[in-house]
Structure 1
């Protein structure tokens, strides 16, 4: 097990290093001058040069890269050009909304997808299977921002059950936390509907494949109920491809909150990235993109570890 984890951890570090180089180079070759944008098009050239020196933009690229990596390792991400505050504080403040939003969306995705996928597989080629798969096809075709607008029109404008947007923070009392949780339900649902449709189809295919195995027929011959066979035997053995998709989807949910956060006017990481791009605040963009890349890599590492927990044969074969 230790060798398995060591190899996966080495892959994790190598991928993070490669991602940091790509992120830095891509942002460095973008046209334009951040100091010029901050000062305005009519600013005095000497003032623009002074600001560029203050921001470190006059240093060689490799010097800025190593300075950035050193800051990542020590927690010093620098100060935002446009906000004038530490980037780390900005990111942590926005993650307090984005991470719960992504987790809630992933929980909704998993619950809906497993229920739909297993139910459809148990009714293979029947009306229920065809109907559920038809609904998932519709779900895949719906853009999440369009579905978000529909949710606002129905639940906020017509029924007035939820607010149309905004987030007042988590607060300190249970009522304030409940109100904060309620304000994230519609955004989470709009993020989850497409991912749940995709995951449900993968779940159905994986469950159908496992249902043809000999041990399933043996369990049925012993008198195990259909429900127990599906949820206790079949689903466990079908989880490996499902978990692979779930890992990628959680990464997509973290990175895909930009549009939904802007639709619901949520002060999360996605909205911070959108505003930083508009202001050409490259130091914020660079650190946020690297953070999202790190999330993706770490989630994939966790999925690899879960593989070994679910199926010890993977761990043994890897060693």
Structure 2
């Protein structure tokens, strides 16, 4: 039963990726303008533009370009970036060294803050602590990421001078960076990404925990002498994780895509800044491959969330397979 559940989810993943690739390619094909003319400038001759179009494969039919693109992605042989004259796979891999740790750090901060605050608010339902957490979460959801990022820079970089206002030193000590310096450079961007996500996740956690706390088995556990803390963390939280995990999966995918704005505020050389620069240069090869990567990340995370569902509550897999 579980294997059938996994096969269905895997088939859905592959179909979604295929549809996403068609949509991404079609949308970029409909964009006005000519990439070759942008690269060569307004003074380029028609012959030079035609030669560059032939080198980039822009003179071929759309279907041929699509199959060539998908084949390159599947074989790991991606196209050359127009602006950087480098395979897009190398460019994206370099930028992921910043974006992926940033998203993971932001997700870790989100999870720690949201689960703690959500359970605390549920345990103090309709008391001062609950009201305070809900009010703070409402404010957190109303704050734009880029505005909160600017506030963090003004406070911790400009006034207190505890952090740099932007830039990334790298992960290698020999090049002036290192693990501590790299994490320090990502802390403020991660906080600016995590504040909204933590606010939303805390509210969902509180609601899910309150719903589970009304179940009969919770009252039975309390009647057997288990402390309120033990019941909350050992029994209630696990059974309340289904909606929480759902939102966490969506949030992690959103953190990767939201990094486009935050990376530009903090001048971080990540995937978000790469997309911004590629759009400015009309480097559609980079835009296409990066957007496809982000779409694949969202689909893959949803697939992993489904697997986590089956681990949290094995009854869900047979139910889906039935």
TM-score range with shorter-chain normalisation? over 0.9
Residue 212 (structure 1) aligns with:
214
Asked if 1:68 corresponds to 2:69, the answer is yes
**Secondary structure in structure 1 of the residue aligned to 2:178:** helix
Residue 229 (structure 2) aligns with:
227
Asked if 1:132 corresponds to 2:164, the answer is no
Distance 1:215 1:133 in 2: 27
8 Å contact from structure 2 (residues 115, 202) kept in 1: yes
Of 236, 239, 251, the residue aligned with 1:237 is 239
Residue 104 (structure 1) aligns with:
105
8 Å contact from structure 2 (residues 170, 177) kept in 1: no
**What 5-or-longer segments of structure 1 have no aligned partner?**
none
Number of aligned residue pairs: give it.
319
Distance 2:295 2:264 in 1: 21
Where does 1:252-263 land on structure 2 (aligned, <5 Å)?
252-263=254-265
8 Å contact from structure 2 (residues 36, 52) kept in 1: yes
**Secondary structure in structure 2 of the residue aligned to 1:170:** coil
Of 310, 313, 316, the residue aligned with 2:312 is 310
**What is the TM-score normalised by the length of structure 2?**
0.98
**What 5-or-longer segments of structure 2 have no aligned partner?**
none
Where does 1:17-56 land on structure 2 (aligned, <5 Å)?
17-56=18-57
Distance 2:61 2:115 in 1: 52
Residue-by-residue CA offset, 1:195-223 (whole Å, 9 max, x unaligned) = 00000010011001000000100010011
8 Å contact from structure 2 (residues 171, 177) kept in 1: no
Residue 188 (structure 2) aligns with:
186
Deviation at 1:172, TM superposition (A): 4.1
Distance 1:274 1:75 in 2: 24
8 Å contact from structure 2 (residues 103, 190) kept in 1: yes
Deviation at 1:42, TM superposition (A): 2.0
User: Alpha carbon RMSD of aligned pairs, Å?
Assistant: 1.1
Moved over 3 A (4+): 172-175
8 Å contact from structure 2 (residues 16, 299) kept in 1: yes
Distance 2:131 2:42 in 1: 59
Deviation at 1:146, TM superposition (A): 0.5
Residue 198 (structure 1) aligns with:
200
Distance 1:172 1:152 in 2: 25
Where does 1:230-309 land on structure 2 (aligned, <5 Å)?
230-309=232-311
Distance 2:309 2:202 in 1: 20
Distance 2:236 2:272 in 1: 38
